[in-house]
Structure 1
Amino acid sequence: MKPTKWYLGEFSNLLFKELSFKSFVKILLFFGSLSHEKKENEIHIDFITVSKEYRGTGIGTELIELVKNSADQSQFVTLYVSKNNNAARKLYERLGFRIVKEGTSIAGRHLHGINQWYFMEWKGIDNNEKEI
């Protein structure tokens, strides 16, 4: 799978048109605090969200499955999730992800209110799921 990347310039232009200056700055700080150094063969999901009115309809599952299905056998998928976001964590676990690390962030608490998180990983059928 070829990496897909949104560039900050494109994303920030879109945000700036839609948000107040204060909200725009908060969002940029939020994304800036979510840096992750990818490993070889890693597909990392930086950020995923589904609008409230569409939650529970299977869209989140479809998005994650799309990423998983595009990974080849040598690749694995990772993401961070807030320790307080039980619904998302349970979704990821149901889809075969497992918690590999827990962490805290003082900066995260001040920037976006999230100071505890899980790092989760999916390694595919060979590593996570038993084929019957």
Structure 2
Amino acid sequence: MRKRSVLLSLGTVLASIALVLAPSTANAAAEPAATPAGVSVSGVGTAACRVAPAPGVSGVNVRLRADAGSTRLGIIQPGQSAVADCSETTGKAYTACGGVNTPRWIGVTWNGRRGYVARWCVDWWVV
């Protein structure tokens, strides 16, 4: 009886560890979500997707290339949004905003220029 109890406890512990280590789906979506509350989408034009800083992110760097070391073209501030690609692109891995060596970037148009933002730093949605 004691052996079975120990095995059941071990199974519970292992299941709990698996849940903790499983990747979060909050930012892991490979497709854009719905428009977040409090973000203006005026001047959308023909674009089908947009990005804005994720909650708790003070501003998102727009980079010339999908690389955190690339030239910064500007910063998308909270409450602002940018026209974005509706698919991710692979670039250089980064650790900003909780990304763990992730190479996931989204192409954007910011102040008339083409650039990239780190996927984990933004909310991303279909207009």
Taking structure 1 as the reference length, what is the TM-score of the superposition? 0.25
Structure number with the bigger relative contact order (C-alpha 8 A, sep ≥ 6) is 2
Higher normalized strand content (fraction of residues): 2
More helix as a share of residues: 1
Larger radius of gyration: 2
Question: What TM-score, normalized by structure 2, do the two folds share?
Answer: 0.25
